[in-house]
Structures are given as C-alpha cells and as structure tokens.
Structure 1
C-alpha cells in the first residue's frame, strides 16, 4: 500500500525524498518569508521534526517530551495593524486590525525557554469572550481553543531556519526553527501563528 506521494507505507524514502515527505505537510512552503533558510529535515532531531509538523497543541507535545508542565508567559498583547502578507493569510482586507498576542513557552519547573510565539487573531470570527479564555489557560492559545469547544483545524503553511524575533529581547537573534500555520474555523482563518523553537 502507498501514500498519496507514492511512497510505500512504512518505508523510509531515500535521499532527497525525505525532504519531500516532510515538506508535503506544509501547504505554502514556496511562500515562506525570504529570511527563512532551508532546513535539512533528515538531519533534525526527531523531537524537532515532531514539533514542526504537529497539528496538535505544541504545549502538550513539549510536556510529553520534557515531562514538565508548560506555561505560556505573555510578553505583550493588543490590537495591531496587519501587513499585506498577514492580511492575505487571514483572508481580511489589507491594513485590517487583528489582536496580536506574543508569548514565551517555558517549562514551569525548569524555567527553560522552549518556544516564542506570535498569534494574530481575528476576534470577529471567534466566540464572544474568547479573549478571557486565553488568560485563563496557562498553557496557551491551543488550550483556550480546546476549552472553548469550537471546531477548528490547523493548516501548516511553511517552516525554515531563522532567529528568535526582536520582540523577545531575552533571546533575540538566537538560532531557531520557525514555522507558521493558521487556525481555520467555519471555513475562515481565525488565527495566524508563528512559532520559533529554540
């Protein structure tokens, strides 16, 4: 039996096909920002590959891997005007306003910094009171979405090698694996999320 790309199920494709196997999960890899560099996914630690490709909650994956609770520490949040690229991926007019939330995901026991993440949310497409739900769940946006009971799916857009963004000065400029995905609810994007994995 073979998957959609013709690779036998259970078989590991040789050479460059490993890159194709992994990248096919990202629907807009060719549209990734210019500053993101290629990543030889075959050489990545399996844990990093799982983090890049998971369409579940990153905090849950981190907790399972590191065996400690993960807490989302807010860095900043508030309204932000979208640039043309972000507006496109959120399917809103250019220069529209979104709710921007920036957090650091840290180990609640070790205080290890694992991820910095920026979420751009379209409040009009989310349930009333969703903003309050975000504040109630220390493990982040994914937990708030789950608790709200809305049906949603994640659409992986792109990934690459980059650096921690300047908005998190504690680690700004450090090398990081980065990915961007969007959360879709009711056929419309409700969030655009960029995560940098240290």
Structure 2
C-alpha cells in the first residue's frame, strides 16, 4: 500500500485515539509517516528518540488505529515492519470553549524547536471580517493547504503549515485594564 491508497480523513472519535494524538512525540512520528512508510529504526532516527521509545509510541498509535503496517520484509531472520498513516489527514473533535487545542500546542512546540536562523515564515494578523469574509478566508486557506499538500514530494525537506482562523474570546469592552 502506498500513501496514494490512503483514505482522505481519519476522524478521531475515541478517548484512546485522542490520547494517542495528544503526545508530542507521537505527533512527530505521525509527521514522519505522513508521506512514506518507515520502520521503527527509521522513525527513531528521524524523530530523535531511542528505538525502544519509538516502538512504544508506534504501538500506541497502531492500537488507536492511526498508523498501520503496510509491508514487511525479512532482514537477517527478523521481520521488519513498515508503518504508514491510516489516512492522509486526521480530524480532531472541537476542543470546546476553553479546551486545549492539541494541534496548535504541537505546532508551537515544533516551531520553538525549529533551527535558529532557519528559514521560516511566521505572521499574525488581526482582522475585522464579515461572517461571509470569515468563511471565504477559511475556505481559501484550506484550499491552499490542500493544493500544496498534493505537490508535496517525500524527497524534499519537511515543511509545516499551521493556520488558525478564529474569533478571539470577548474581553471587557470598557477602557479599563485586566480585572
């Protein structure tokens, strides 16, 4: 099975699945498996963890249905398993008001650990939009991300795109400071 054969979306529906994606190491393992299958050793090398740790986290992801064995081969009498994502993308349930947004926390952690002086584009903009403009911008961002995901080549270096379009929590409207 190649990544071309994967279902488009895996919907997180159980607590076990949510716990599996909530861990930063497992998030990084899934990023490694996003474009091509890899063995436990390859995953450990790319994520920068011990082989035993890699194996533990992959087993949890496999048990939750997020990754699966896509091929095996025998190497010096040992069966080597290649793991891949169970789908092209993962959809998390809405965390609810005040709940932690796991993907954003992982994205910020990855951004903070990216090489100093490395190439990156980071921008925050505060906008005032109509409901229609808000919906249109969201749709355009999703379409742009999908367009570039289709252009992704596993032979090229990894790049992460993260965006969040949201209405911030309303703060006190009076001119006073924090209460």
User: Scaled by the length of structure 1, what TM-score is found?
Assistant: 0.26
- Greater Rg, structure 1 or structure 2? 2
Structure with greater strand percent: 1
